[in-house]
Amino acid sequence: MNEFEWRRQLRDLHQPLAPLRDLWIAIDAALDATDTARVTTLPTRQPARPLRWLIASGLAASVLLAGAIGWHALRHAPAAAPLASTATIPWKPADPRLAGAAVELDAAHMELQLAIQQAPDSPALQRLLDRTEHQQMQLRQLAGQAG
C-alpha cells in the first residue's frame, strides 16, 4: 500500500455516515422512563446523625494528626547553620577581562550556599561549592599576577 492509497482511504473516512437505526427514539424513551421513575419514587429522608458524627470525627482525627506531625517536625528539625561567608563583599578585580568571571563565580557561590541550606547532607553540592571556591582562589591568583 502506498501513500496515494492511504490518502484516498483518508478522504473516504471524511464522508458523513448515517446510523443504521434512529437513536433518538431510544434516547427519548429512556428519558421518559427516568422522569416517571423520579416522580413515583421519592427518596425518604433518613436521619443524618451517624454520618455527621463520622465526618466530625474524621476531621478531628486529621487535624490531630497534622498537629502531631508538625510538632514532631519542629521538635526534631536540624538547626540551620549560620552562613558567615554570605556577608562577605563580592570581590571585583581591576582587570576587566577577569571581572566577568568573578561575577559569575560569586553568583554560583551564593546559589550553591542557598542549595546547601536546603539540602545540607548533599555531597554533590559540597563538591560543587569546594570547586567554586577553588576557582575563585585561582582567579584571585591570576588577578594578582596580572596586576
Summarize the confidence of residues 53-66 as an average pLDDT.
89
CA 107 to chain centroid, in Å, comes to 25
pLDDT at 80: 53
113 and 86 in contact (C-beta within 8 Å)? yes
The predicted structure's pLDDT at residue 84? 47
The residue with cell 446510523 is: 19
pLDDT digits (tens, 9 = 90+) for 94-140: 777 788 888 888 889 999 999 999 988 888 889 999 999 998 888 88
In angstroms, the CA 106 to CA 108 distance is: 5
| Residues sharing a CB contact under 8 Å with residue 27, sequence separation 6 or more, in sequence order | none
What backbone torsions phi and psi does residue 65 show, to the nearest 5 degrees? Answer: -65, -45
Tell me the average pLDDT of the chain: 80
4-14: pLDDT as tens digits: 898 888 888 88
Higher pLDDT, 40 or 77: 77
Cβ atoms within 10 Å of 115's Cβ, excluding its own: 15
Q: How many CA atoms lie within 13 A of 18 on its CB side?
A: 3
- Reported as half-sphere exposure (CB side, CA atoms, 13 A), residue 136 has a value of 18
pLDDT the model gives residue 131: 92
Single-letter residue type at 120: P
Residue 143 has pLDDT above 50, yes or no: yes
**pLDDT at res. 130:** 92
First and final CA of the chain: distance in angstroms? 75
Burial 47-71 (b: 16+ CB within 10 A, else e): eeeeeeeeeeeeeeeeeeeeeeeee
